[in-house]
Amino acid sequence: MNLNECLNRYIEELEREVISIISDPSTDKRTKNLAMKPLTSKKRIIKNTIEALEMVDRVHEEELEIAGTPKRSQN
């Protein structure tokens, strides 16, 4: 499993946790908001990480093309 798959799986877990918080009728609005803020922040951090990794890969491939080196294979 590659890193992107792991990060996407973690995002799915965060989303399931958010859904469980939202769907709990015994929790008031303030408590829901407090519980969701860290989950939202984690999701944004993970998405930023994925975007940064993709950018690094893209720049690396461009540099390899400029240097005339064949691209590395992706596993």
Asked if residue 45 is part of any domain, the answer here is: yes
pLDDT in tens, the chain (75 residues): 688 889 999 999 999 999 999 999 998 999 999 999 999 999 999 999 999 999 999 999 999 888 886 666 555
Q: What does the pLDDT read at residue 39?
A: 93
Asked if residue 24 is part of any domain, the answer here is: yes
Asked if residue 31 is part of any domain, the answer here is: yes
Do the beta carbons of residue 7 and residue 22 sit within 8 Å? no
Asked if residue 55 is part of any domain, the answer here is: yes
Nearest to 19 by CA among 8, 6, 32: 32
Look up the domain containing 32 and give its range.
Answer: 3-67
Using CA of residue 58, residue 61, residue 67, residue 68, what is the dihedral sign?
negative
Asked if residue 14 is part of any domain, the answer here is: yes
DSSP 68: T
Asked if residue 73 is part of any domain, the answer here is: no
Secondary structure (3-state) at 24: coil
- pTM for the model stands at 0.72
What total of structural domains would you count in the chain?
1
Do the beta carbons of residue 46 and residue 10 sit within 8 Å? yes
Do the beta carbons of residue 18 and residue 44 sit within 8 Å? no
Q: What does the pLDDT read at residue 73?
A: 59
